[in-house]
Each structure stands twice: as C-alpha cells, then as structure tokens.
Amino acid sequence: MHVHVYCGDGEAKFWLEPDIELARNSRLSRSQIKEIEQIIEEHYDELERAWEEHFPD
C-alpha cells in the first residue's frame, strides 16, 4: 500500500507497509514531509480501508 501526496510546492509518495516510509520526494521541505507523515499516521486506518475498498484483491 502507498499514498501519493500532491500540493502546490511539490509531491511525495509514502509506503504504508510494512511501515510508513517516504518512497519519493519532489520539492517538499523536511518540515512538510514530517507534517504529511504525521497526518498519514493519524489517518492510517482510513487510508488502509480506502485502499482495500479500491483494490479488493
């Protein structure tokens, strides 16, 4: 599982399994990456559910 994050400053991709981990970063600052990672942690269950609904296999 992974998520893509897009904003006006750049974009990033995070793996969600086996652990939340930055896979790619394009033009986002360290503080932005940390903030995004925190949001992912707070909403992990929702992200996992959405992934499973979108990719049921």
Confidence band (pLDDT; 50, 70, 90) for 57?
A: confident
Report the pLDDT value the prediction gives residue 13, as an integer from 0 to 100. 98
* pLDDT exceeds 90 at position 22: yes
Output the pTM of the full model. Answer: 0.92
Distances (CA, A) of 13 to 36, 49, 50: 10, 18, 16
Write down the mean pLDDT value for the chain: 97
pLDDT band per the 50, 70, 90 thresholds, residue 16: very high
The average pLDDT across 9-31 equals 97
- Do the beta carbons of residue 21 and residue 52 sit within 8 Å? no
As a three-state string, the secondary structure of 1-57 is CEEEEEECCEEEEEECCCCCEEEEEECCCHHHHHHHHHHHHHCHHHHHHHHHHHCCC
